[in-house]
Structure formats: C-alpha cells, structure tokens
Structure 1
Amino acid sequence: MNEEKISSRFIYFFGAFGGILFGYDIGVMTGALPFLEKDWNLYNSAGIVGWITSAVMFGAIFGGALAGQLADRLGRRKMILISAIIFAVFSVLSAIAPNNGSYYLIIMRIFLGLAVGAASALVPAYISELAPAAIRGRLSGLNQTMIVSGMLISYIVDYILKGLPNQIAWRLMLGFACIPAIILYLGVMKLPESPRYLIKDGRPDEAQKVMSYVRSSEGEINNEINQIKETAHKEQEAQKTSWSALFSGKYRYLVIAGVGVAAFQQFQGANAIFYYIPLIVQKATGQAATSTLMWPIIQGVILVIGSLVFMWIAEKFNRRTLLMFAGTIMGLSFILPAIIRWIDPHASQMMIVVFLCIYVAFYSATWAPLTWVLVGEIFPLAISGRAAGLASSFNWIGSWAVGLLFPIMTASMSQEVVFAIFGVICLFGALFVKTCVPETRGHSLEEIESRYSKAK
C-alpha cells in the first residue's frame, strides 16, 4: 500500500465515481434510442426496442450477485477496477455494432450490464465501510449525486450530438461511455481497500492505516477497529457463510428489509421515465422524439438538484420517515393524472409530464439515494457482500422489467393507466417500509447488526 497519506476527499470522490459510470449508461440510451430507431427502422418492434434498452439491466442482475461474492474474496477495490475495464471494453464494442445488428447490440449491452451491476453493488458497500456513522448517509448520497450527474452528462452529450446523421449519433453516444470508465480506473488505482474487508482478510494493521485517512482521532480509530474485530472474530467461529445463511432466523429480517427496499425502488417505475422520456413527450405532444431531447436534460437537472437536497437532509430526518413520505407523494403523482383524465378526458396531455417532474423530484431526493444508504448500512459483515449483491440483483430485475415492458405496455394501454399501476406500487413500497424496515440513521454497522439480527 502507498505510504503517502491519501486525502479523505479523494477517497470519497473516487469511491463514489462508479456512480458516473453506470449513471451515464442508464441515461445515454434515452437520447440514443430515437436515432437508433430511425437508423434501424425499429418503429414497430416494441420487443426489440425494450430488449436493447433493458439489456444492460438484464446483465446487471448477474453482475451485482457475482460482484458481491467476488468482493468478499478479492476485496471491493479490485472488483471496482475489474468492473471499469469491462465497462470500457463493451462500451466500445456496443458503439461498433454492425448495421441492423439488434441481437449483437443486445448481447454487448448484457455484458456491459455485468459491470454496471457490479458497480451498483460495490460502490455503496465501499463508501459505507469507510464512512463514519454520523455522515454515512450524506456520503452515500454522494454516490447518488454521481449517478444522476452521469445521467445528466449523457443527456447533454445526446443533445450536443443530435445534429449528426442518425447512424453516427447513437454510436458516438454509446461509445463515449468508455471515458468515465477510464477515469474511474485511474482514480481507483490510488484508493485503499475497505478496512472491514482488510480485517476480515486478516490484515488489521493495514485496516488501521486506512482508518487513519478517514477518522480524526486515534481513540475513534481504535474503538471502531476493536468493534470490527470483535464482530469479525464471532463470524470466523461460525460456519462459512452460505446463501442459506441469508435467510436463516438470525439474518432474515434484515435481508428481507434491504432486498425489499431495493426491489421496490425500481418496480416503482422511475426508469420508465429515465429511459423513455423523449417517447413519453412524443406521445403527449406529437413532436418527433429526436426533437424532444431537452426534456431529458430537464429531468437530469431535477435529479441532480434532488440528490443535493438529499445530502442536505440525509442526517436531519430518519430514513423511514423520508421513504414513507416521498413514496406516498410519488404514488399520487402517478395516480392523479389517470384520475384527472377520467374526470376530464380533454385535459392537457402535457399534464402527465408535469406530474412526472414532481415524481422525479421526490424520487431523486429520497428513494434513489436512500435505497443504497440502507443497503450499505443494514447488512451484517458476515453476509454484507452476498446480501448487497442480492439486493442489487433484485433492484436490477425491477429495472430490467420496467425497461423491457414499458414500451410494450404503452403500445396496448394509455400512458396514464401505465403510470397509475406504478403509482399503486409506490404506495405499497411506503407500506413495506412502515412495516418491515428498521431505522439505521446514526448507528454503526456493528450496532445495527447487534440490535436487529440476534433476536430475529
């Protein structure tokens, strides 16, 4: 390990930079899809469009689970480096897809999804294992700011490139994703390994040194190191962690809570907006989707502002309070347009876009970042890698399903009805938090484990 002291700001920045990586790829297809549809004449191929869009999320289902397991063996840092390499390679391979090569592009984007899923599981875990409990929510919110910043960057790139010929525009949009991957790789090369992983791997001296980068006093370092050692010692005496251990009586409550929140975050329908907003506006206004690329930028700005609001409120309110309140507002934002259109069939079609903006504002300030704060906080060390990977996989299953089914659903029913269905899911998500999720704000990872796992 490098003997030179590493700045805590540098560690937190590049620890969260993986968010830029998959934020860009989540957002880039929003602008690339209208040009790809024109280039390959996919207007009547809702299934192919859904698969091309959702292929990254399909790969991410497996990437999250694999990364969770491998991170427990190889460490968080090494797995983030591997993810960056995979991401760069398959971004370029996606950009050079042969003409009308729908299946080739789907396969390349599935492999790209392995890296996206890995990053979504590894980055929150890495930040949570380094951050002090008092600022863990705010620092995990930095990851969300990186994600939405990556999305906004992709929207801006899409807008800048929209004047190019169709066959060139979408290829450049997809290919530019390799740039944040290269930056991430170079930054993470200088990062230390997670102290919790180092202790679990039998390297307490290295863990103490890493702690000195991100803790202010010797007493604080020693206290937390001792806590981690005590927890790790108990786990070493037990049998090697297996998948079945996640659902044992000891851990079941925490696993259901973390995985459930991660699943609800996506089944609520947010990515239908992020992937298809140009097509949503096209259906509402009649304008060509390629001429509505300012709307993704508006959504991206709302997302970034929302993530900054979260960093301000993260440690001021309980996690559960924010999730229940915002989930209710998000549900109503989806349901009200359907009710209004039922009462007044002649109501403006743009009304749904206004309500979508309200949804995005509340989602970006609460559910989007808080899901990964909880995933990073709620799982005990013995199962953290696998459980975080499982939560990430369920999250991506939801994302993939929404990305695949939304164009098919809107081809057979009105947008208002589709979003009303998502609205009901939002309300169920708020109810799930109320009944199944413990409060984690301000508690160390060891305290959370002690309080909620031994009696469950």
Structure 2
Amino acid sequence: MAQRPDAEAPLLGKPGAASPPSPPAKRTNKYPFFCAVLASMTSVLAGYNVAVMSGAQIFMAEDLGVTDAQVEVLSGVINVYSLVGALLAGWTSDRLGRRLTIVLANVFFLVGPLAMTLAGGYAVLMAGRFVAGVGVGYAFVIAPVYAAEIAPASSRGLLSSLPEIFINSGVMLSYVANLVFSGLPVHLSWRLMFAAGVVPTVFLAAGVLTMPESPRWLAMKGRVAEAKAVLDKTSDTPAEAEQRLLEIEDVVNGGGRSGEGSGGGAWKEVATKAGVRRVLAIVLTLQFFQQSSGIDSVVLYGPRVLAMAGVTSNTLLLSLNVLFGVAKAGSILIAMALADRVGRRPLLLVSTGGMTASLLVLGSLFAAFTGAKDDAAVAAVSFAAVVAFVVSFSVGFGPLAWVYSSEILPLRLRGQGAGLGTAMNRITSGVVTMTFISLYQAITMAGAFYLYAAIAAASFVFVYACLPETRGRSLEDMEELFHTK
C-alpha cells in the first residue's frame, strides 16, 4: 500500500500564480476489496458444507447403512444447527472482534467436516454436522458485517455482496466434489467429499490473521489510534479517513464504549428508542421475506418442479438444475456491479417485482396445464419462469438483504443484530424447505407458487414503504437516517 504523499494536502493559490492547483484525484483503494474477499471466503465453506450432503448421502447409505430417515435429518438439520452459530456470532464478534470471529468460524469448518470424514456411525456424523452447522451460522453473520465495516461508502454495496456470491460458489464446488469423487470406492468417496472442505480452512484462518481488525470495533473498544491506522488504509482519501473516524467516534461516544456499547446496555435501547426498534424490525422482516418467498424451494426442488411441468428426461432435469445454479451466481454479479451505482432500493424493488411476476406465471402454468406431461412448450415456459424467478431474486433480494441489514444496524448492536437477522433467515429457510412437498400436495403446485407470489408482492410493498435509500451514506449516517442515536 503506497504511503500518503505530502502533495495530497491541498495548496492555497498565491498572488500572481497562473491558476490554483487542481485538487488531488480520488484514488481507487483496492485494499478493502482484498480484505473483504478474504473474509468472505469463509462463506464458500458455508455453502460447501450445506450442499455437500446432496451427493455424499448416496455413498454414506451404502457404506454405513444410514437409513433414509437419518439421511434426511443429516441433510436438513444443518439449518437448525446454524442458528446456534448465528446467535453466538454476535456475542463473539462484540467481545473477541470481527477478525477472530472469522478465525473461529474456520475452526468449526475444520473440526466438523473432519469428524464426518472419520465417522464410523450415525452419532459421529450428527456431531460433525452440528459443529459444521455452527460454523455456517458464524459465517452468515460475520462475513457481511466485516465487509460493511471495512469498506468505504463508495464500495460498501459491492463488498457486502461478496458473501452471497461466495456462498453460491461453495454450493457449486460441492457439486463438483460430488462428481469428482463419485468414481472412487464407496468407503472413500463420501469421506473425501467432506475432507475436501477441511484443507482450505487452515490456510484461510492464517490469511484472516493478516487482515486488519474492523475500525468500528477498535473504536468501540477505545483503541482509537489503531482504528485510525486501519481507516487510513481502507479509505479512498485521507480526508475521508478523517471524516470516517470522526463519525465513528461520535457514534461510539454517544452509545458508550466496550461494555456500555454492546450487550445488555445496548439492548435496553430496543425498549426505549423507537428508531432502534424500527431498525431491528426492518432487519428481521427483510430476512423473513427473503426466504419465505420460496427461493430455496425452487433451488432445492427444481428438478421436481420441472418434472411436474413436463420434463421427462432425468439427464435433462439435472442439466437444467445446473443452469439454475449458473443463473443464480451470475445474477449476483450484476447486483454487485450495480449496488453502488443504482442503489439498494431500486434493485430491491425490481427484484421483488420480478419475483412476483415470475411466480404468478409459474403458478398459472401449473393451474392451466396440469397433466400436460409431453407438452414441450409448457415445459420450456416453466423453465423460463423458474430462471426468471432465480435471476430476479439474485439481482437484488438475495445479496442486498444482507447488505442492507448489515449497514443499517447501529454499531453497538451490529454484531448481535446481524445474528438475530441470520437466525430469522435460517429458521424461515428451514420451514420453507421442509414443508414444500407437503404444501404442494395439500394446495397443489399452482397454489404453492401463488402463495409464494403473494409473499413476494408483500415484500415489494414492504421495500417501497419502509426502506429508504442508503447508497453513498456512511454507516454513521444511518444513525441520523433511522433516528437511532
């Protein structure tokens, strides 16, 4: 990182000079980007550990005699276990710091998959899944929080979106691992699928220790000189670094330091300050809507949906499922590119509107053409509607729910507030994915998608009525915007 040149200080024009010197050009600071990427790599491990069971379960059943009921529990229970990590992560990040919390998440991703790799029975498999699930909860909370706090306002939307793209990258890597190791002997194949996720944790944890601590956490602990040094490295200009430090100190001094700024003292504000209650309600509602509109049902049960829409070839079903993943990951890149240019609110409105329209189309197709098993046109339109839904979700609601939640929470509540938001997200995801089959069997596939469309429409209204724009604002500005001081 280049040192700040003396010439960056503006010079006053002198009499007789031809013209005053031009102000220094605003630099493009890549350092916070690299820090956010490294922190967000933990999200790759989260996605990997959630999805690796999809292929591993086939070989585990044959090797260890694991029953279908046990496989179902092992596959789905990680969402429940992640609640433990999500709720603990806020407490840990406020006391140990954001950086050490990321290291701790990697420890869970080391121990959990390693236990499953060496497991000889169901009990150890379940214990390993629990430890990995705690790591998933930690990763969901701390990666977007660190990215939001390390980033300058000019790139916070981009950097806070990184965990979402990395989660999806981890899912795709788990599918690759399932394929690569599937040809090995049964007793080795599923073990290597889990073991492949163990090795990166050691190097990633070591790399995280080279990152700076969050300047906001340092200031909250009274380590202002260290916070200033980090801000000098992660701001676009020296003037911005000074301004960020002043704003952070103002918030910290207003909310109290250390014990006063976190924990019980801060949570008393939920009962006494309407602005704090409003922010917490927005975070919880946003995370609820993100999952209750059915995205995980489409992602996890895509082949089943398309089979009922008329796709009869298993090979084609699996190929189309891969395309869902590609479309989802690619669309997140669009959100990352536009979040700091267009703004959060426009992208969220476009996203929720597109989700509503595509779900209505999908529900109408099932209502009008139920039983049209060999109708290629119906199958093609159904596939297009599913892709439109996935793309609409990923271009806005998917990544930006995390971005918005991370940046509007007050500093003194950010760690624990993000933990509560993640808990809401994981609970809702678990309920949706574990009820989808029962839901469409009870009210038909058309009825299920109409229900999801109604929820997506409600989320559009919520965004329009309750979410102000945050693009370009510092995190400290949020205190004024939401009246949480």
TM-score by length of 1: 0.88
Deviation at 1:222, TM superposition (A): 1.4
Of 348-357 and 375-384, the range deviating more from structure 2: 348-357
Q: Answer whether contact 2:49 2:132 (CA < 8 A) is retained.
A: no
Aligned: 1:66 with 2:88: yes
1:172 alignment counterpart: 192
Deviation at 1:50, TM superposition (A): 4.5
Deviation at 1:9, TM superposition (A): 4.0
Q: Answer whether contact 2:111 2:128 (CA < 8 A) is retained.
A: no
SS in 2 for 1:17: helix
Which of residues 44, 69, 78 in structure 2 aligns to 1:20?
A: 44
1:203 alignment counterpart: 223
Q: Answer whether contact 1:56 1:111 (CA < 8 A) is retained.
A: no
d(CA) in 2 for partners of 1:316, 1:440: 12
Deviation at 1:406, TM superposition (A): 2.9
Deviation at 1:74, TM superposition (A): 0.9
Which of residues 91, 105, 118 in structure 1 aligns to 2:113?
A: 91
1:186 alignment counterpart: 206
Map Cα deviations across residues 341-360 of structure 1 (whole Å, 9 max, x no partner). Answer: 22223254565443222211
- 1:150/1:352 CA distance change after superposition, 3 Å: same
TM-score by length of 2: 0.83
Which of residues 449, 452, 457 in structure 2 aligns to 1:422?
A: 452
Deviation at 1:286, TM superposition (A): 5.0
Deviation at 1:365, TM superposition (A): 1.6
Map Cα deviations across residues 32-64 of structure 1 (whole Å, 9 max, x no partner). Answer: 455556775756x4xx55532221111111211
Alpha-carbon RMSD: 2.9
Aligned: 1:376 with 2:406: yes
d(CA) in 1 for partners of 2:444, 2:60: 24
Which of residues 172, 176, 189 in structure 2 aligns to 1:156?
A: 176
d(CA) in 2 for partners of 1:107, 1:130: 35
Identity of aligned residues (%): 28
Deviation at 1:224, TM superposition (A): 1.0
- 1:29/1:275 CA distance change after superposition, 3 Å: farther
- 1:41/1:380 CA distance change after superposition, 3 Å: closer
- 1:169/1:124 CA distance change after superposition, 3 Å: same
Which of residues 424, 446, 456 in structure 1 aligns to 2:476?
A: 446
1:105 alignment counterpart: 125
Aligned: 1:261 with 2:301: no
State the AA in 1 paired with 2:242: N
Deviation at 1:225, TM superposition (A): 0.6
Of 326-335 and 175-184, the range deviating more from structure 2: 175-184
2:339 alignment counterpart: 314
- 1:322/1:161 CA distance change after superposition, 3 Å: same
- 1:154/1:252 CA distance change after superposition, 3 Å: same
d(CA) in 2 for partners of 1:50, 1:320: 38
- 1:369/1:229 CA distance change after superposition, 3 Å: same
Q: How does 1:2-21 map to 2 (within 5 A)?
A: 7-21=31-45
1:399 alignment counterpart: 429
d(CA) in 2 for partners of 1:295, 1:30: 16
User: Quick check: which has more Rg, 1 or 2?
Assistant: 2
Q: Answer whether contact 1:327 1:430 (CA < 8 A) is retained.
A: yes
Of 357-366 and 211-220, the range deviating more from structure 2: 211-220
- 1:135/1:352 CA distance change after superposition, 3 Å: same
Map Cα deviations across residues 175-199 of structure 1 (whole Å, 9 max, x no partner). Answer: 3222343332122021111000001
Q: Answer whether contact 2:144 2:161 (CA < 8 A) is retained.
A: no
d(CA) in 2 for partners of 1:167, 1:247: 55
Deviation at 1:370, TM superposition (A): 0.2
Q: Answer whether contact 2:55 2:175 (CA < 8 A) is retained.
A: yes
- 1:303/1:342 CA distance change after superposition, 3 Å: closer
- Matched positions, count: 446
Q: Answer whether contact 1:16 1:123 (CA < 8 A) is retained.
A: yes
d(CA) in 2 for partners of 1:389, 1:158: 31
SS in 1 for 2:325: helix
Which of residues 386, 389, 399 in structure 2 aligns to 1:359?
A: 389
State the AA in 1 paired with 2:146: Y
State the AA in 2 paired with 1:218: P
Which of residues 110, 122, 142 in structure 2 aligns to 1:122?
A: 142
d(CA) in 1 for partners of 2:276, 2:220: 19
Deviation at 1:98, TM superposition (A): 3.5
d(CA) in 1 for partners of 2:147, 2:157: 10
1:390 alignment counterpart: 420
2:235 alignment counterpart: 215
d(CA) in 2 for partners of 1:50, 1:265: 24
1:56 alignment counterpart: 78
Any stretches of 5+ residues in structure 2 without a counterpart?
4-29
- 1:341/1:49 CA distance change after superposition, 3 Å: same
Query: Relative contact order (C-alpha < 8 Å, sep 6+): which is higher?
Result: 1
1:224 alignment counterpart: 244
1:142 alignment counterpart: 162
SS in 2 for 1:190: coil
Q: How does 1:283-362 map to 2 (within 5 A)?
A: 285=311, 293-345=318-370, 346=372, 347=375, 348-349=378-379, 351-362=381-392
Deviation at 1:451, TM superposition (A): 2.2
- 1:296/1:288 CA distance change after superposition, 3 Å: closer
Map Cα deviations across residues 229-250 of structure 1 (whole Å, 9 max, x no partner). Answer: 1110111186853544335424
- 1:183/1:444 CA distance change after superposition, 3 Å: same
Deviation at 1:104, TM superposition (A): 4.8
2:295 alignment counterpart: 270
Deviation at 1:361, TM superposition (A): 1.3
Of 444-453 and 406-415, the range deviating more from structure 2: 406-415
d(CA) in 1 for partners of 2:124, 2:458: 38
Which of residues 247, 251, 256 in structure 2 aligns to 1:236?
A: 256
Map Cα deviations across residues 82-105 of structure 1 (whole Å, 9 max, x no partner). Answer: 110111110122334435x2x653
Q: Answer whether contact 2:161 2:399 (CA < 8 A) is retained.
A: yes
